[in-house]
Amino acid sequence: MTRAQWLGWTGEGALLIAHGDGRLEEVKPDATLLGLGGASWPRLGSSAAWVDLLASRHIAVTPFAPSNCGFNVEWSGILRTRHAGAPLKHAAFTFAGRTVRGEAVVTDYGIEGGAIYALSPLLRRSLEDHDKTTLMVDLSPEHDVAYLANRIARQDKGSSLSNLLRKALGLSPAAISLLREGDRDLPHDPEALARLIKAVPVPLTGIQPLTRAISSAGGIDWAELDARFMLKKLPGVFAAGEMLDWEAPTGGYLLQAVFATGWAAAKGVEALLRFTPP
């Protein structure tokens, strides 16, 4: 049934379906596989309205939280006005001992992108406990401090610092602005400057909302499911996909987990129907 919405169960245990034309229908299937999604980008359909329906049947659901999302930074001016949308390429991003190499994008609200998404579970947990948390950015992960200091020291002393960073190290205008962010005076000592390039602190002040997150953490508690992905308290009702309490990075891992749990739950349905007498 397309253009139909599941509204919950009737008193007799049938599924109550609302059709697009307003018609209500009751369906009593042999088994039900719920694949209703998580809570991110609700305008695409996954509104998590099912949470109340399952809660009314005493199914524990871990509250949803944004995952694979952007983070807020109170940029002081130039980064927001001149560099919003600019990528920070070939960088490395470190938080809580985990380093991810890749790319991020400066936005008007802060920072997002593949490398940030990969760190999002750790960053989110830190921001749950603190008002601020600091992400470290290495703008030149290919090179160590000694190499960078040497390149900086060998440059023409007459050229501006920005030119020096652009020519000697190939840093982009956005990367150079990140170094100067918050009116930071750049060190004249080549080694001190090299150390800053290898570890630029970026204070994060918040997380973007679920409505803007690529995926959601949280969902049906695993303890509610048996090995066949059937809800223990609702025999015959299975669940799969982002409804379940897991999170994964982008790059196909989310879809892979959705397909894998969908396949496993379908196998569970098959097993149930095969061994249940008609």
Residues within window 236-275 making contact with ligand FAD, judged by CB under 6 A: 241-242, 250-255, 258
Nearer to ligand FAD, 50 or 75 (CB): 50
Number of residues counted as binding ligand FAD (CB under 6 A):
22
Binding residue for ligand FAD, selected from 5, 76, 134, 276, defined by CB under 6 A: 5
Tokens of 229: 């992905």
Site string for ligand FAD, 215-234 (x = CB under 6 A): x-------------------
Q: Which helix (H) or strand (E) holds 168?
A: helix 161-169
Span from 38-46, 153-161, 168-176, 218-226 in contact with ligand FAD (CB under 6 A): 38-46
Nearer to ligand FAD, 16 or 78 (CB): 16
Tokens of 16: 């109550």
Least Cβ distance, residue 265 to ligand FAD (angstroms): 11
Q: Residue 256, exposed/middle/buried by CB under 10 A (0-12, 13-18, 19+)?
A: exposed
User: Interface with ligand FAD includes 46 (CB under 6 A)?
Assistant: yes
User: Interface with ligand FAD includes 96 (CB under 6 A)?
Assistant: no
Nearer to ligand FAD, 137 or 254 (CB): 254
What count of other Cβ atoms lies within 10 Å of the Cβ of residue 268? 20
Residue 219 near residue 62, CB atoms below 8 Å? yes
What is the residue type of 219? G
Binding residue for ligand FAD, selected from 32, 50, 118, 126, defined by CB under 6 A: 50
CA distance 264 to 49: 24
User: Interface with ligand FAD includes 148 (CB under 6 A)?
Assistant: no
Longest CA span, the chain: 88
Collapsed DSSP state (helix, strand, coil) of residue 110: strand
Nearer to ligand FAD, 175 or 265 (CB): 265
Binding residue for ligand FAD, selected from 31, 32, 33, 40, defined by CB under 6 A: 40
Closest of 213, 225, 217 to residue 246, by C-alpha: 217
User: Interface with ligand FAD includes 37 (CB under 6 A)?
Assistant: yes
Span from 43-51, 77-85, 186-194, 270-278 in contact with ligand FAD (CB under 6 A): 43-51
Binding residue for ligand FAD, selected from 31, 33, 36, 148, defined by CB under 6 A: 36
Residue 115 near residue 251, CB atoms below 8 Å? no
User: Interface with ligand FAD includes 214 (CB under 6 A)?
Assistant: yes
Least Cβ distance, residue 32 to ligand FAD (angstroms): 12
What count of other Cβ atoms lies within 10 Å of the Cβ of residue 157? 6
Q: Residue 213, exposed/middle/buried by CB under 10 A (0-12, 13-18, 19+)?
A: buried
Torsion angle defined by CA atoms of residues 66, 70, 71 and 77, in that order, rounded to the nearest 10 degrees: -150
Nearer to ligand FAD, 155 or 250 (CB): 250
Please state the length of the chain: 278
Provide the binding-site residues for ligand FAD, judged by CB under 6 A. Answer: 5-6, 35-37, 40-41, 45-46, 49-50, 214-215, 241-242, 250-255, 258
